[in-house]
Homo-oligomer: A and B are copies of this chain.
Amino acid sequence: MTAPSPKRPRTHPAYTLLYHPSVPGRGEYIRLAFEASGVSYSDPAKEGTDGYDEVLAVCDPSSTGDEDGNPPVFAPPALRVPGAGKDGKALVIHQTPNILLYLGPRLGLAGADEAEGFWVNQLALTALDVNNEAHDTHHPVAVGDYYEAQKEESLRKAKDFRENRLPKFFSYFERVLKHNESAGEGKYMVGDKLTYADLTFWQVVDGLHFAFPNEMMARASEFPFIFENFYPAIKEEKGIKAYLGSDRRLEYSMGLYRHYPELDRQ
């Protein structure tokens, strides 16, 4: 977890991220928002031996909600915010884009006004669609089965993703960066400062570099805003740079983004 930020000195973090240990996964989109803004957070599954129990409890598949009046959680990531729920109780929410929506204005990552807020949100949602399609390249027909049991289908899905979906999505984000060039200088998608849309798409691009290194190298020149401006610039944002250099940043492995050489461009 982060060192206490100057904004919240010597107090227990106001936010608890409930996610799996060991993989970046969808929790990483939330972590990046905290890290970029320098706001401290708890991440119990990463912090201690009993931490993951708290995550498993909140996602119990027989739960009908908690004692604070929160509805059940479908799956991690979830966010707990003491005092922010009904009658001063804890608020517990889930769904990655919903958590980003909640945190966005509180962490200063949601744009300068209401219109920008909805643009930021639509861009984060679209980036998360890419995330989901990247996941499906190694699990196209049965989420609960092993990759090895759906390898033939994966080869076909990955080919379609690399040849059709990735360029379609990247063309879109390239045009978004171009649209905002005068304010964002090719590094911010909305307005003239960092938002959770940037962080979310950055994590997608980073994950795709891990999963499909050949494909990404071959595509780089097609999308100069993304590859030459945006991707390296976000990496240099103060909080992000510190985070990426720390041991808090988990390595990719057998999570959402996986490197199977046979699925990459040959």
Whether A224 sits at the interface, judged by CB under 8 Å, is: no
Check A70 against B178 for contact (C-beta < 8 Å): no
Check A71 against B176 for contact (C-beta < 8 Å): yes
Whether A142 sits at the interface, judged by CB under 8 Å, is: yes
List A105-136 residues whose CB lies under 8 Å from chain B: 113, 115, 118-119, 121-123, 125-126, 132, 136
Whether A44 sits at the interface, judged by CB under 8 Å, is: no
Query: Taking the nearest CB of chain B, how far is it from the CB of A193, in angstroms?
Result: 16
Check A179 against B141 for contact (C-beta < 8 Å): no
Distance, CA A175 to CA B63, complexed state (A): 7
Q: Which of B93, B121, B171 contacts A118 (CB 8 A)?
A: B93
Check A156 against B180 for contact (C-beta < 8 Å): no
Query: Taking the nearest CB of chain B, how far is it from the CB of A245, in angstroms?
Result: 32
Check A95 against B119 for contact (C-beta < 8 Å): no
Check A142 against B156 for contact (C-beta < 8 Å): yes
Query: Taking the nearest CB of chain B, how far is it from the CB of A62, in angstroms?
Result: 8
Check B140 against A160 for contact (C-beta < 8 Å): no
Whether A97 sits at the interface, judged by CB under 8 Å, is: yes
Whether A232 sits at the interface, judged by CB under 8 Å, is: no
Most buried by B among A119, A126, A157: A119
Most buried by B among A65, A84, A115: A115
Q: Which of B94, B123, B141 contacts A160 (CB 8 A)?
A: B141
Query: Which of under 10, 10 to 19, 20 to 34, or 35 or more describes the interface residues of A?
Result: 35 or more
**Given A63-B175, A115-B86, A143-B165; A94-B122 close (CB under 8 Å):** yes
Distance, CA A125 to CA B178, complexed state (A): 29
Chain B contacts for A144, CB-based, 8 A: 160, 164
Most buried by B among A95, A102, A118, A175: A118
Whether A242 sits at the interface, judged by CB under 8 Å, is: no
Check B119 against A70 for contact (C-beta < 8 Å): yes
- Of all chain B residues, the one with the shortest Cβ separation from A180 is B71
Contact with B along A155-199 (1 / 0, CB 8 A): 011001000110011011001101110000000011000000000
Distance, CA A189 to CA B219, complexed state (A): 45
Check A140 against B157 for contact (C-beta < 8 Å): yes
Chain B contacts for A142, CB-based, 8 A: 156-157, 160, 164
Whether A61 sits at the interface, judged by CB under 8 Å, is: yes
